[in-house]
Amino acid sequence: MSASATASAAPPAETPGYRWLALIAVIVGAFVAILNNSLINVAIPKLTNVFGSTTDRIQWVLTGYMLASGVIIPISGYMGDRLGYKKFFIISLSVFTAGTLLCAVAWSDTSLIVARIIAGLGGGVIMPISMSIIYKIMPREQIGMALGLWGISAMVAPAVGPTLSGYLIEWFNWRFLFIINIPVALLAIVLVSVLLKETERIEGREFDTWGFVLAAVSAGTLLYALSNGQSKGWTSFEIVALLFISFWSFVFLLWVETGKEHPIIDLSLFKNFTYTLSVISASLVTVGLFGGVFLTPIFLQNIQGVSAIDTGIILIPQAVAMAVMMPVAGRLFDKVGVIPLGLTGLTLMSVMTYELHRLTVDTSFGWLETVLAIRGIGIGLCMMPLSTAGMNAVAPQQVGNASSLSNLIRQVAGSFGIAVLTAIMQQRAALHAQHISESVTDQGMQYFQSILGTSAITTLGGVIQREALTWAIADTFVISAIPLFITIPLVFLFKQKKKAPQAQVQAK
């Protein structure tokens, strides 16, 4: 390994004050990227009407960003090492800001989609780069606390987004969904420029062109197939072809990257048991986490008729619980390790996710907020420790590649979880609707007609669909709890692998 590569592995010898100020800059940058997406998710109907577009077409505002993010993530480790993590972070924030500005002045659905793709090329690498920077500037004994604070942005932004989005659309203009991000992004650029010092660069490393192309094709086609499989049909030619391309691109990626000295996707990381275990555990938790993120708004808005603003307000206690527990978990992680936190957090998250199968059409907001808040405590306790345990196990010079790889896999896991849970929910809704319809006797139908008159059939159909969807969402929560329960015993496997590095540190 070159001298420059070794130098890049060590954090700058700076004061604790510098490190925590630099962390603030990184957190602001991460927050703005996540907030941007959470603002747009609930605005799709509004954007469809504004541009006179179709739902399928305007959905590319989300899909284009997601695909651009997935395609660009693999490059983050190489670019950080080659250019310096500070410089590449500023470039990423600048591209994201430029794309967001173009979104704000978009004049058609096509221009908005193109602008979102540009924003995705910058925003996609912000999270893996920001995580890598934390490992570059913070000593290992403070990583847990630092990542706990950094993780607040990932937990608070999605909860604030829907409420803020609804407020901006109702009282201002859809363009403010993007305008509001621009000053925060510019602030992040200024803070990073002033507060963060450049990391050492690795000179002379060739860019792994074939590895990047294959990784981008495999990730991009898979993410697109997962996000559109339900609407286009999982057996449709388009989706089957995309999955075929994704699979064989991945196979060729394995062949191309094996044995390469500086691969864009460092598959040798999976030889590290703790890192691999961490990625698997975090991915399973992501599936369960996205289940709640995806299903709860559907229940509140489609079943109980809650507005987007009020939905966000109902979700705030869960976000606050997560935000409070993230730094607490970080501080405790540095002292007690992953096992106590992982077991406690996963148990709370698993049980509370399962408890959501008790949802009914008339479920009170108070009960739902309480269950979600306890679930949020569990998420805050387990998410960061599971990821940090794996990142702590890799060599310092591999942090950039490890961060980009784990972020890419979690993004795929989230898309996979939503795709599978959507399919299950729709299948169960159809099944429940059929059973309920069959249970309504002719005598029962006559009773409804005597009360409601000629509108009885239409009204009863709406009641059946509403009840069927409620039961389907409850069933799907049970399914989304399964990967969480599966992860609990995996936490014990971290124990044996954790002692060796501690012993080595004490020996030194």
Tell me if 236 is assigned to some domain: no
pLDDT at 348 over 90: yes
The answer on 474 and 339 residing in a single domain is: yes
The confidence score (pLDDT) of residue 29 equals: 86
Which residue type occupies 53? S
Q: Which of 162, 181, 202 is the last residue of a domain?
A: 202
Alpha-carbon distance of 446 to 22, in angstroms, equals: 70
Tell me if 251 is assigned to some domain: no
Which residue type occupies 91? I
The confidence score (pLDDT) of residue 505 equals: 40
Residue 496, exposed/middle/buried by CB under 10 A (0-12, 13-18, 19+)? exposed
Residue with tokens 């130098």: 7
Listed residue (95, 79, 168) closest to 128, CA to CA: 79
Q: How many domains does the chain divide into? A: 2
Q: Which of 155, 170, 202 is the last residue of a domain?
A: 202
Domain of 399, CATH number, reads 1.20.1250.20
Q: What is the pLDDT of residues 288-315, one digit of tens each?
A: 887 777 788 888 878 888 877 787 788 8
Tell me if 227 is assigned to some domain: no
The answer on 193 and 290 residing in a single domain is: no
Listed residue (90, 94, 103) closest to 180, CA to CA: 103
Quick one: pLDDT band at residue 235, thresholds 50, 70, 90?
confident
The answer on 356 and 486 residing in a single domain is: yes
Alpha-carbon distance of 216 to 74, in angstroms, equals: 7
The confidence score (pLDDT) of residue 159 equals: 66
DSSP letters of 206-253?
A: PP-HHHHHHHHHHHHHHHHHHHHHHHH-TTSHHHHHHHHHHHHHHHHH
Q: What is the pTM of this model?
A: 0.80
Quick one: pLDDT band at residue 378, thresholds 50, 70, 90?
very high
- Span of 33-37, 197-201, 303-307, 451-455 with lowest mean pLDDT: 451-455
The answer on 293 and 193 residing in a single domain is: no
- Contact indicator for 282, 405 with CB cutoff of 8 Å: no
Token pair for 127: 């999270």
Terminal Cα-to-Cα distance of the chain (whole angstroms) = 23
pLDDT at 507 over 60: no
Q: Which of 155, 184, 202 is the last residue of a domain?
A: 202
The confidence score (pLDDT) of residue 14 equals: 60
Tell me if 60 is assigned to some domain: yes
The parent domain of residue 365 ranges over: 286-508
- Contact indicator for 150, 30 with CB cutoff of 8 Å: yes
The answer on 329 and 445 residing in a single domain is: yes
Which residue type occupies 168? L
Alpha-carbon distance of 159 to 166, in angstroms, equals: 12
Residue 125, exposed/middle/buried by CB under 10 A (0-12, 13-18, 19+)? buried
Q: What is the pLDDT of residues 11-29, one digit of tens each?
A: 444 666 677 888 888 888 8
- Span of 89-98, 140-149, 404-413 with lowest mean pLDDT: 140-149
The confidence score (pLDDT) of residue 500 equals: 40
Residue with tokens 């109907």: 45
